[in-house]
Structure 1
Amino acid sequence: MTQHDTTLSPMAELSQNVAQPFERARAMPKSVYTSDDFLQAELDHVFRQDWFCVTRADALANPGDYTTLDLAGQPIMVIRDRDGQLRAQSNVCLHRMSTLLEGSGNTRSIVCPYHAWTYNLDGRLRGAPAMTLNESFCKDAYALPQVRCEEWLGWVMVTLNPAAPPVAEQLSGVRDLIDDFGMENYTQTFFETHRWDTNWKVLAENFMESYHLPVCHAGTIGGLSKLEEMVCPPGEPAFNYHWIYKEPHFTLANAHPSNTRLKGDRRRMTFLLAIYPSMLITLTPGYFWYLSLHPHGVGQVDIRFGGGMSPDFVNDAQAQSHFEAVKKLLDDVNVEDRGCTEKVYRGLCSDVAAPGHLSHLERPNYDFACYLNDRINPAD
């Protein structure tokens, strides 16, 4: 069988693809990006099973702060209750099953927009109008189903899988890698949601490799990173990573003069962390930004996009100008990435498209393919 054999299922094509060692590896088959069957397998075996990044904990700092999301078709809210606890719970009313909250914000209670059934922040039903004549109704019997939620290094993580290992255990290697950056102390200064016309894996892979920086990002950060300085080690079971060095004149990507934690080259080191399935973090000594991706069909991706500053720069006298400079830079970078990744998706839908061999700078993409294969084809 060849890589063009159309008799293979997308799952089998992926299995065949990752059977090659990295030194001979090709990009993933185009069917894994375009097949509805493969997407359903991802929802069942990836997004319903693994941890998903929602936002930063400091974005939900006060009682009643909330954000909402759909995870593998399940409407979820994450909210800080009156005791200061972060909790994730179903975002579906227990009466006629309307969704409850929308977007992000702050609320004193959770009120259904359909019949005004009202819940406390912890999900317990507080009140239900005009229910006194139903003899079997008992308010105390109603509470929104809870979803597993953990805070890790400042991130809010949720999972639909009761058996998933704790985040800190699963990602202990990430902490070992970047502990001296103090990522848990970085402050989120913006958060947005977007939808792009590309498959979620195209955007994930775009983040995982810096091979494209000099070309795709020629107008922004491309000239600040050198291909010969990029290091792409083999990934770990739950994540992959690589790092690049930023030029000293890119002030915000270098350690602040008051930062005594980072030493030597780590003062100008940018880590690109891809935490499976779809949490993508760029971490520099001065700022961070992230994407949390979820498929919206095969041809679109829903993006949770946020970022902010390290405490050294937050407390700097020039803090506001730093915020503005980082946000403008990231917006410009996103315009470039959107153009590149939407072109890739249009291209891979072509009848004659075929995956080429990977560069040594695309090692994280190969590791990502192996992770997906382990989830989709666990018997391999």
Structure 2
Amino acid sequence: MARDHIDSDPIADLAANTALPFEQARAMPPSVYTSQAFLEAELAEIFRKEWYCVGRAGALSKPGDYVTGELAGQPFIVARGQDGQLRAMSNVCLHRMSTLLEGRGSTRAIVCPYHAWTYNLDGTLRGAPAMTLNGGFDKRDYCLPQIRCEEWLGWVFVTLNPEAAPVAERLAQVGDMVAGYDMLNYTETFFEEHVWDTNWKVLAENFMESYHLPVCHAGTIGGLSKLEEMVCPPGLPAFNYHTILKDDSLRIAMAHPSNTRLKGEERRTTFLLALYPSLLITLTPGYFWYLSLHPRGPGQVHIRFGGGMSDDYKDDADAQANFAALKTLLDEVNVEDRGCTEKVYRGLCAQLSAPGHLSHLERPNYDFAQYLNARVSAARAK
């Protein structure tokens, strides 16, 4: 099966790959990960048109709280206004086009670091020094371009697409499926940003299957992962998922005794949700963590990594100690995942690499490939 994929057509390669039924499916072709042309198609047809998650609304709870990022080349700010409303807007000054804010934080106003043009939290221009001699200047003419922003079950999303269906509509089936977990009842306690040397889809697919857990995570959670208990149903148009069962060796993965919403095996069931294109959530009855991914070229991915606990546990005497231990474990798991996914990308770049058949435990990967193919192939058909 080895072949030279360096000069191949990645969109055609993916179309041929996804034409097979799941029972005969193979991993996606190397060109889909390594091609700059395929990345440009993803940016145009996926990241400029879909919803991108910037994190949890609880991290932006007070007026002046903000987070920044970049979506398909567009720098953005999401900020909580003095009126309590969450807004997203361009993070580019309307004077000489410097970017404005960086990272996450809290501010009373948005001040350009170049010439101190100052904007209110709703994007309107508050003031600009030394502009009185320009007869054409009127600060009322200036407002940072607004970007669509929506909250859903405590998550904050932005999109550059004015025609995108509302998040709540798009993800209604997810909300119904995990209603008993009550995602509004989880508080984020950590947030980090990372850049890894792998393709964003490699990391997304790594999350979507737990087939790798016993091997890649042999030093941490691998021994707790029973392949025979993993359930990987067919995905849906906006997401895929799989579930695994956990035991009380990690108590905060279980439903709290006060939780009457979850019954039977639900009380120890973990959902691994992949919300297209790139929000990946591990949701247990007691804690959650997530990755929100954005490509930085074919060989790098920007990662928003956060997590926290169900508020059901907040008053327990040992809650913080348990969560500190969990965060240490998650950091160790990340080290293992980074090693595995960066190895995969190096292998994908090799001339003799070729995709093998998928396991039944990689059903979510197959559905992800179908989603990607539908988006990029539709663009070519226009």
Scaled by the length of structure 2, the TM-score of the pair is 0.97
In the TM superposition, what is the alpha-carbon distance from 1:314 to its structure 2 partner? 2.0
Distance 2:245 2:143 in 1: 50
Instruction: Quote the residue 2:78 is aligned against.
Output: 78
Counterpart amino acid of residue 195 in structure 1 = V
Q: Secondary structure at the match of 1:350?
A: coil
Distance 2:3 2:150 in 1: 43
Conserved 8 A contact 2:91-2:99: yes
Question: Aligned pair count?
Answer: 379
Conserved 8 A contact 2:181-2:285: yes
Distance 1:315 1:157 in 2: 30
Counterpart amino acid of residue 98 in structure 1 = S
Instruction: Quote the residue 2:228 is aligned against.
Output: 228
For the pair 1:298 / 2:298, whether they are aligned, the reply is: yes
RMSD: 1.2
Instruction: Quote the residue 2:68 is aligned against.
Output: 68
Instruction: Quote the residue 1:338 is aligned against.
Output: 338
Distance 2:326 2:257 in 1: 18
Instruction: Quote the residue 2:19 is aligned against.
Output: 19
Conserved 8 A contact 1:189-1:309: yes
Structure 1 gaps of 5+ residues are: none
Distance 1:268 1:223 in 2: 17
Q: Which moved more, 1:252-261 or 1:92-101?
A: 252-261
Structure 2 gaps of 5+ residues are: none
CA deviations on 1:185-239 (whole Å, 9 max, x unpaired) are 1000000000001000000000000000111111111112200000000000000
Instruction: Quote the residue 1:260 is aligned against.
Output: 260
Q: Secondary structure at the match of 1:377?
A: helix
Conserved 8 A contact 1:231-1:244: yes
Instruction: Quote the residue 1:38 is aligned against.
Output: 38
Conserved 8 A contact 1:88-1:149: yes
Distance 1:316 1:61 in 2: 24
Instruction: Quote the residue 2:181 is aligned against.
Output: 181
Counterpart amino acid of residue 68 in structure 1 = T
In the TM superposition, what is the alpha-carbon distance from 1:350 to its structure 2 partner? 1.0
Q: Secondary structure at the match of 2:113?
A: coil
Instruction: Quote the residue 1:132 is aligned against.
Output: 132
Distance 1:221 1:127 in 2: 54
Conserved 8 A contact 2:90-2:144: yes
Instruction: Quote the residue 1:190 is aligned against.
Output: 190
Instruction: Quote the residue 1:49 is aligned against.
Output: 49
Q: Which moved more, 1:257-266 or 1:5-14?
A: 5-14
In the TM superposition, what is the alpha-carbon distance from 1:257 to its structure 2 partner? 1.5
Conserved 8 A contact 1:313-1:322: no
Instruction: Quote the residue 2:309 is aligned against.
Output: 309
Instruction: Quote the residue 2:142 is aligned against.
Output: 142
Conserved 8 A contact 1:225-1:247: no
Conserved 8 A contact 1:45-1:376: yes
In the TM superposition, what is the alpha-carbon distance from 1:347 to its structure 2 partner? 0.9
Distance 2:85 2:195 in 1: 30
Scaled by the length of structure 1, the TM-score of the pair is 0.98
Conserved 8 A contact 2:185-2:310: yes
Output aligned runs, 1:268-287, within 5 Å.
Answer: 268-287=268-287
Conserved 8 A contact 1:199-1:299: yes
CA deviations on 1:41-68 (whole Å, 9 max, x unpaired) are 0000000000000010000111000110
Counterpart amino acid of residue 129 in structure 2 = P
Which 4+ residue blocks in structure 1 deviate beyond 3 angstroms?
Answer: 2-8
Distance 1:166 1:302 in 2: 25
Conserved 8 A contact 1:18-1:370: yes
Instruction: Quote the residue 2:156 is aligned against.
Output: 156
Instruction: Quote the residue 1:357 is aligned against.
Output: 357
Counterpart amino acid of residue 98 in structure 2 = S
Distance 2:316 2:151 in 1: 27
Counterpart amino acid of residue 94 in structure 2 = L
In the TM superposition, what is the alpha-carbon distance from 1:8 to its structure 2 partner? 4.4
Output aligned runs, 1:88-103, within 5 Å.
Answer: 88-103=88-103
Counterpart amino acid of residue 125 in structure 2 = L
In the TM superposition, what is the alpha-carbon distance from 1:3 to its structure 2 partner? 8.5
Q: Which moved more, 1:346-355 or 1:27-36?
A: 346-355
Counterpart amino acid of residue 361 in structure 2 = L
Conserved 8 A contact 1:76-1:88: yes
Distance 2:118 2:281 in 1: 37
